[in-house]
Chains A and B, each alone.
Chain A
Amino acid sequence: MDINSARTARPDLEDIELELLLEGLYRYYGCDFRNYARASLKRRIRKVLETEGLTQISALQNLVLHDAAAFKRMLLGITVNVTSMFRDPSFFLAFRQQVVPLLSTYPYIRLWHAGCSEGQEVYAMAILLQEAGLYNRCRIYATDSNERVLQRAQTGIYPLGLMQQYTQFYLQSGGQRSFSEYYTAAYDSAIFRSSLRENILFSQHDLAIDGSFNEFNIILCRNVLIYFDAVLQRRVHKLFHESLCRFGILALGRQESLRLSPYESEYEALVKSEKIFRRLD
């Protein structure tokens, strides 16, 4: 046999090791990364290898299956929690201009913020809804699979150094107050007003495992689906479809779409450029 063709035909060993690791994590710890987008997951696993001083994924598998502390370290290494307040200001501007008027007719608004990370986006939405005079009619369910980020989200305390950037985004998003009204500065921290948190319920929910838990008028899930492969994206879109009420609104990240959703035809674009959709019925 030609050695070159044999080489190209044989599956990549690293890919096999990765699959075995993910299967092990699922069976032993119950956390399911099997349908996360492979290329980005692999990149993060390689970084974990580096920090653990290992070269092979199978060595990492051995380590994390026998050492719970190493498993926890790995979890932190492979989840991405990058977020910001009013990230993509044009999205929040469109929300103010085109979604808020629809909501004003609702007596009660239930919002699910899926994959809320450390909560910046949730507080940003709470600010927006307060300014629109809708907040006291709202109940926001903010969920993430990562317990640690939820704990941070609960506190509503962020590094003071980020406020300059957030203020700029806030203004670009159509905010008309002084952004500093919303927090008190203490040492290096910005502590957000607790009134913003009154109608927010933070809780753990894993989009890869857990089911629908309520019916919502709005579901916000931005920059989470990019971490999932096509199979898991379909699962989550089914979950969202089941959890949205008639004419409910689904908002995705700037570069995400409904293309992989089995329910694409059951939505219309409310603001196409900002990935804001509305369930038809």
Chain B
Amino acid sequence: MSSLVSSPIGAATAPALIVIGASLGGLRALRELLQQLQPEFSIPIAIVQHRYWDIQHRLMESMQQGVRLPLREVEDKDELQPGKIYLAPADYHLLVEPGSFLLSTDPPVSYARPSIDVLFESAADAYGQRLVGVILTGANHDGAAGAAAIKAKGGRVLVQEPATAESDVMPAAAIAQTCVDAVLPLSELATQLNKFCAASSL
């Protein structure tokens, strides 16, 4: 019954998807994180970045700067492909099903659309143990319930170290609500994601 014993991060099932949630200060954090991924990084990544009016339309271009992996704003029913980074479009929730994405215009969840919880909870349903969730900087509590859902389904959760985050509220909220697998600064988060990738391509 080894499933009850928490295994060291990276030793469990190789992840098939990484989901990332970020809010205030997220653009800079995301860029820093994504820039440090290896060029051969092959696990698909799905991101919810809360949109503020100023970055509503420029988000894609701003985020792609210096990031080698191709970024795509999700269109309904897009299939998950290795080595691609998917971004939730403005004003839609992003959800995951096994092998594909879907979008919805359901009402905002705790004022957010896209909502991190919506992405994380659906991804937890679809990928269970083969999912890694990452919570970055933010000034609200979105993602805390989603992180708990990921843990409940056997997935792993990494959180940006609150002291190193532009806004520590969101990472702290996730840590308070769930027993997360690791709390790390951005560069070490990147190292950890690269390790997951190496493990999944073994």
- Pick from A4, A44, A256: contact of B106, CB under 8 Å: A44
> What's the Cα separation between A43 and B95 when bound, in Å?
10
**Does A40 contact B77, Cβ atoms closer than 8 Å?**
no
In Å, the complex CA distance between A121 and B67 comes to 38
Contacts of B125 in A (CB 8 A): 12, 39, 42
Closest chain-A Cβ to B48's Cβ sits at a distance in Å of: 14
* CB <8 Å contact, B76 and A256: yes
Task: State whether the Cβ of B11 lies closer than 8 Å to any Cβ in chain A.
Answer: no
A255 to B114, CA, bound (A): 13
Given contacts A39-B122, A226-B76, contact A80 B106 (CB under 8 A): yes
Contact check, A39 vs B126: say whether CB atoms are below 8 A apart. yes
* Interface contact A227-B104, CB-CB below 8 Å: yes
Q: Indicate if B3 sits at the interface (CB-CB under 8 A).
A: yes
Instruction: Kindly list chain A residues whose C-beta atoms are within 8 Å of the C-beta of B76.
Output: 225-226, 253, 255-257
Task: Please give, as numbers and ranges, the residues of chain B lying within 8 Å of A42 by CB-CB distance.
Answer: 122, 125
- Interface size class for chain A? 20 to 34
Binary CB contact string for chain B from 67 to 83 against chain A (1 if under 8 A, 0 otherwise): 00000011111000000
Bound Cα distance from A39 to B125, whole angstroms = 8
Residues on B with beta carbons closer than 8 Å to the beta carbon of A12: 125
What is the CA–CA distance of A64 and B1 in the complex, to the nearest angstrom?
Answer: 39
Question: Are B92 and A255 closer than 8 Å at their CB atoms?
Answer: yes
A13 within 8 A of B: no
Majority DSSP secondary structure for residues of A touching B: helix
B96 & A39 in contact (Cβ 8 Å cutoff): yes
Cβ-defined contact, A40 with B107, below 8 A: no
Would A255 and B106 count as touching, CB distance under 8 A? Answer: no
Q: Is A3 an interface residue (CB 8 A)?
A: yes
Chain B proximity mask over A1-18: 1 for CB below 8 Å, otherwise 0: 001100110001000000
B97 within 8 Å of A by Cβ? Answer: yes
Interface size range on B against A? 20 to 34
Scoring A residues 31 to 42 as 1 if CB is less than 8 Å from chain B, else 0, what string do you get?
000000111101
**Contact assessment for B97 and A255 in the assembled complex, using a CB-CB cutoff below 8 Å:** no
Do B104 and A226 touch across chains, with their CB atoms under 8 A apart? Answer: yes
- By a CB distance below 8 angstroms, the chain B residues around A80 are 104-107
Tell me whether B75 and A255 are in contact (CB under 8 A): yes
Interface centre among A4, A43, A44, A80 (most CB of B within 10 A): A43
Residue of A nearest to B128 (CB): A8
Q: Compute how far the CA of A257 lies from the CA of B102 in the bound complex, rounded to whole angstroms.
A: 12
Q: Which residues of B (6-63) have their CB < 8 Å from a CB of A?
A: none
Judge whether A73 is part of the interface by a CB distance below 8 angstroms.
no
B110 within 8 A of A: no
Q: Is A186 an interface residue (CB 8 A)?
A: no
Query: Given known contacts A4-B3, A40-B95, A255-B89, is B75 in contact with A82 (CB within 8 Å)?
Result: no
Which residues of chain A are near B1, meaning CB under 8 Å? 3
* B74 pairs with A40, CB closer than 8 A: no
Residue pair B105, A223 in contact (C-beta under 8 Å): yes
Check B65 for interface membership: any CB of A closer than 8 A.
Answer: no
B98-120 residues with Cβ-Cβ distance < 8 A to A are 102-107, 118
B106 engages A40 (CB within 8 Å)? yes
Q: A123 to B33, alpha carbons, bound, how many Å? A: 45
Partner of B75, one of A4, A8, A37, A256: A256
Within the complex, the shortest CB–CB distance from A43 to chain B, in Å, comes to 7
Residue of B nearest to A15 (CB): B125
Contacting A233 at CB < 8 Å: which of B73, B77, B106, B129? B77
Q: Does B201 contact A (CB under 8 A)?
A: no
CB distance from B130 to the nearest CB of A (A): 10
Ordered by A's residue number, 6 sampled pairs between the chains whose C-beta atoms are within 8 Å are A37-B95, A39-B126, A40-B95, A82-B105, A255-B89, A257-B76
Interface residues of B (CB under 8 A from A): 1-3, 73-77, 89, 92-93, 95-97, 102-107, 118, 121-122, 125-126, 128-129
Task: Report which A residues bind B (CB closer than 8 A).
Answer: 3-4, 7-8, 12, 37-40, 42-44, 80, 82, 223, 225-227, 230, 233, 253-257, 259-260
6 more contacts with CB within 8 A, not counting A44-B106, A257-B76, are A37-B95, A40-B93, A82-B107, A226-B76, A233-B77, A260-B77
